[in-house]
Structure 1
Amino acid sequence: MTKEILMIVGDFGEDYEIMVPFQTLQAVGHHVDAVCPDKEEGDRVKTAIHDFRGDQTYLEERGHDFALTATMDEVDPAEYDALVVPGGRAPEYLRTHEEVLEAVRHFFEADKPVAALCHGPQILAAAGVLDGYEMTAYPAVRPEVEAAGCSWVDEVVRDGNLVTGQAWPDHPEWLAEFMDLLGDEVSHGDPVAADD
């Protein structure tokens, strides 16, 4: 059954964490609206690609231009079945927009499915919705989410309506858990590498 999914994005959100869930959820038949405060449908956000090469933190390079599919001021979170909050640098400033925090609070108050990845939980922490959850995020965000009242797990975790992962390498498991929560039929088998 098709679900209406809201995705909150912004400039320099992580490229894979925006593009992959956006396209994957569409591929299985869901409708996804990507919105950003202060931008309108058809406007674009710039993405950033984060790569893990053995340094103390990720390497950041310029990604793509991603077109928004709706205008945040015009959407009603009550009309959506689920929420996706990608990571990257965008969450650090998106969490300063009250309309973003209000939208997030709606999904938690209504106990609707929420998927957050990497730095996305910074927004959830700012919205004050994490108390009592078991979750994960990018490891550098751990102090923030623990201060917001959650308990930390070092892997993809699903706790009630919330599915969290640490970064885009978690996509297979993170998306499978979220899609299962949405009611999609998902196989949780071991992934096969492209060169196998």
Structure 2
Amino acid sequence: MSQKKVLMLVGDYVEDYEVMVPFQCLQVVGYTVHAACPDKKSGEFIRTAIHDFEGDQTYSEKRGHNFQLNSTFEDITPEDYDALIIPGGRAPEYIRLNKRVLEIVKYFDTKNKPIASICHGIQVLITADILKERKCSAYPAIAPDINCVGGSYVDIPMDKAYVDGNLVTAPAWPAHPDWLNKLLEVLRKSV
């Protein structure tokens, strides 16, 4: 059996932990992970943002690290990948404007391949129009958007994840252990 490959769709000011942690953890357990950004090439960098929960009404945002892409967006062939990951942060609000990003999401959903989204990453799934009659989690401020497109927002603790078929979703980076574990379970079941 060949090694499974995972595609991450990212952009500038993606949430730092939500790109770094899954990118590294999935490689540790034997997956090939390609991170690609619209209009950027392999070897280029994106900037990350660190979102923290410091007692305010919402998260705070600070400049994070530079994250090096290892795949060129224009060269992506969705058929080559077994799963898709869309981290949160600021990137989802604008990468969802890219028609090819939406086509890639729809391809994974049509083929029932695992799609893992965390925090604001769900904005890409909303725009791709794949949430009708589906249940998912996200950062709580996105709940109205999920419900408005015919999905059902699932209110879970910040450190938990939710699975609905091929969708693995979570509210924010504190859910990484549960989110990644559930993604690995879904990946093992998909062939």
TM range (shorter): over 0.9
Give the alignment of 1:172-187 within 5 angstroms. 172-183=177-188
TM-score normalized by structure 2?
0.94
Amino acid of the structure 2 residue aligned with 1:31: T
Q: Does 1:158 align with 2:163?
A: yes
- What's the CA shift for 1:165? 0.1
Q: Does 1:80 align with 2:77?
A: no
* Structure 1 stretches lacking a partner, 5+ long: 185-196
Question: Could you report, residue by residue, the CA deviation over 1:103-156 in whole angstroms, capped at 9, with x for unpaired residues?
Answer: 100000000001000000000000011111111100011111111211111122
- What's the CA shift for 1:72? 0.8
Amino acid of the structure 2 residue aligned with 1:108: D
Amino acid of the structure 2 residue aligned with 1:16: Y
- What's the CA shift for 1:160? 0.2
Question: Could you report, residue by residue, the CA deviation over 1:18-48 in whole angstroms, capped at 9, with x for unpaired residues?
Answer: 0000001000000000000000000100000
Report sequence identity in percent.
53
1:111 alignment counterpart? 112
3-state SS, counterpart of residue 183 of structure 1: helix
Amino acid of the structure 2 residue aligned with 1:58: Y
Give the alignment of 1:39-188 within 5 angstroms. 39-155=40-156, 156-183=161-188
Which 4+ residue blocks in structure 1 deviate beyond 4 angstroms? none
Q: CA RMSD in A?
A: 1.0
2:6 alignment counterpart? 5
- What's the CA shift for 1:6? 0.4
Q: In 2, Cα distance between the equivalents of 1:22 and 1:88?
A: 15
Question: Could you report, residue by residue, the CA deviation over 1:49-81 in whole angstroms, capped at 9, with x for unpaired residues?
Answer: 000011011011110000001111111011110
- What's the CA shift for 1:85? 0.4
